[in-house]
Chain A
């Protein structure tokens, strides 16, 4: 019977998002239950640093596959490498973080191995020779227990497991593996990187979010005063408002979110959208400014630890799920919070 637990290290050109290390926590428990080891898998052009960190996060062994073509992630290329490792190693459970790449690779690998796939789980254990897990379905309106016999492939929901703190360890146990990799038929032409500032939405501990209400200012801000077209003026106001919320987010060391209404109206780009057709987030603190709290928005943020809602309308549905509520104008409250943080020296730099 297979008995080891593999964790596939997710990275973009050698940089691992925070979620990469989260599966190492359930991996440890699963390996203990199986009497096996935690085996990290690193696929990269240059993966030494990732391999070291995997050890520090609790891997007993690291399988390090280095090849120039692994510099750029392609699902089939990475998937074939994993399937080849599966032939050689006795893996009972494959764990991936449920990031974009993690989810794709997990599905590809499960199909290649012909085994069960348990995606996006927030709890996972072994029982009677099966993997048993729980996961949200229907946008979190329902939870399902899902089970699959070993071996199985699992992805862990981002921010549902706390990554182990890195420990000082030596490089013993890092094994270079040579695989005969074919070139991928999918060619990378190039990249376009957004000017990234602050943490990514899905990983942020604090999110400051704005909705359609951001366009509704009691006084037209200076830069928009001269615009006569009402639609354009409204957009300008909202963009100024999101600038203000962005400053607050930055002061808190957090990320800026938005409702779909704000995105669809062109106030802010789609990368910021939170909700059923945007990003699903679960920060420690979610601050909703001028967001009514439609069910599709809630689907993306309702598991946040603390929710604060700022809305002019005391009847707004967002207050039904908020821990703290402020009935007021966001254009007055947001700057006041920023000033308060500044005065108390709570601003992150």
Chain B
């Protein structure tokens, strides 16, 4: 089973992200593999271990994307490809989906795996859009692979909906996203890190993909600092827990939340 996993590089979750001179900045904070994509890489590696084949990790982005690609290689992916071109700096979900789909077609995999959401734009939209462009089935938030039927090339998966877990049979090729319950992502091994640091990572541009992208439909004319919550914590004290509880309940009634 040949698998493509799509990843993105993002500022670390602990970064102090803010707006300066009308631009988003995260200071010196490191860029890392998007945390949700660690689960996607883990799932791709497990699929390979269970069903055979190899895992290619792809990312559309400038050179910063190499950080995410190398991390995925260190975790155990066999091959990495970066996709980039000047006009893609402003790509919206639609353009991203078209570019990723063209790269995926070229790689011709059986299975495409993405993370749930990139924690920069927080759009959680690219994977379903890619599935639509490819015309392949889409299943979001997969928590487990149940089995693979070689004959019909059908993968049985469990996915989470808010109300229930749903077990589905999905004919391949298909596009999936992975939920956190799938499994803890593995740590890169020492050998993996060494291999990844030496790996040559090719860059595909738009000409190579035979693609032109439209100017983005969606624009971000302005980013802003959310209003500071002017909260000064009011500490509640008392002689006994009951007295504290009584005062708290009074406050919550006053605030109309009880």
Tell me whether chain B's interface is mostly helix, strand or loop, or mixed: mixed
The 8 Å CB contact of B18, one of A105, A141, A323, is A141
> Could you mark each residue 159-179 of chain B with 1 if its beta carbon is under 8 Å from any beta carbon of chain A, else 0?
011111111111100100000
Instruction: Indicate whether A188 sits within 8 Å of B226 (C-beta atoms), given known contacts A76-B131, A111-B128, A340-B249.
Output: no
Q: Is the CB of B217 within 8 A of A115?
A: yes
Contact A148 B244 (CB under 8 A): no
Flag if A117 contacts B119 (CB, 8 Å): no
Q: Across the interface, do B11 and A142 meet the contact criterion of CB distance under 8 Å?
A: no
The digit string for A230-256, where 1 denotes a CB below 8 A from any CB of B, is 000000000000000000000010000
In the bound complex, CA of A31 to CA of B257 (Å): 33
* Chain B residues in 8 Å Cβ range of A185: 137, 170-171
> Which residues of chain B from 24 to 83 have any CB-CB distance to chain A below 8 Å in the complex?
24, 35-36
Which B residues from 223 to 258 make CB contacts under 8 A with A? 223-226, 229, 231, 233-237, 240-242, 244-246, 248-249, 251-252, 255, 257-258
Which residues in window 86-100 of B have CB below 8 A to A? 92-94, 97
Q: In the bound complex, do residue B245 and residue A111 qualify as a contact, i.e. CB atoms below 8 Å apart?
A: no
A190: Cβ under 8 A from any B Cβ: yes
Given known A-B contacts A191-B165, A193-B163, A277-B35, A326 and B244 have beta carbons under 8 A apart: yes
Q: Are B242 and A142 in contact (CB under 8 A)?
A: no
Q: Are B164 and A346 in contact (CB under 8 A)?
A: no
Residues on A with C-beta less than 8 A from B21 are: none
With A111-B132, A117-B94, A324-B236 as contacts: A186 and B170 at CB distance below 8 Å: yes
Does B13 touch A at the CB level, under 8 Å?
yes
Residues of B within 8 A of A187 (CB): 168-169
Among A97-111, those with CB < 8 Å from B are: 99-101, 103-108, 110-111
Contacts of A344 in B (CB 8 A): 249
For residue A154, give the distance in angstroms from its CB to the closest CB of chain B.
11
Is B168 touching A112 in the complex (CB atoms < 8 A)? no
Q: In the bound complex, what is the Cα–Cα distance between A321 and B230 (angstroms)?
A: 9
B124 on interface, CB distance cutoff 8 Å: yes
Q: Is the CB of B226 within 8 A of A142?
A: yes
- Check: A36 CB closer than 8 A to any chain B CB: no
Contact of B14 (CB < 8 Å), options: A148, A296, A302, A332: A296
Q: Convert A296-335 into 0s and 1s, putting 1 for each residue whose CB lies closer than 8 angstroms to a CB of B.
A: 1001001001111100000000011111111110001101
Stretch of A50-58, A132-140, A159-167, A172-180 with 4 or more beta carbons under 8 angstroms from chain B: A132-140
Name B218's contact: one of A103, A148, A309 (CB within 8 Å): A148
Task: Write 26 A-B pairs (CB below 8 A) sorted by A numbering.
Answer: A75-B140, A100-B140, A100-B141, A107-B132, A111-B128, A116-B94, A117-B123, A117-B217, A119-B123, A120-B124, A138-B24, A140-B226, A142-B17, A144-B223, A145-B220, A190-B166, A277-B13, A277-B36, A284-B257, A296-B14, A302-B229, A308-B252, A333-B244, A336-B240, A340-B246, A340-B249
Q: A interface vs B, CB < 8 Å?
A: 12-13, 15, 17, 72-76, 79, 99-101, 103-108, 110-112, 114-120, 136-149, 152, 184-194, 196, 200, 202, 205-206, 252, 270, 273, 276-278, 284-285, 295-296, 299, 302, 305-309, 319-328, 332-333, 335-337, 339-341, 344, 346
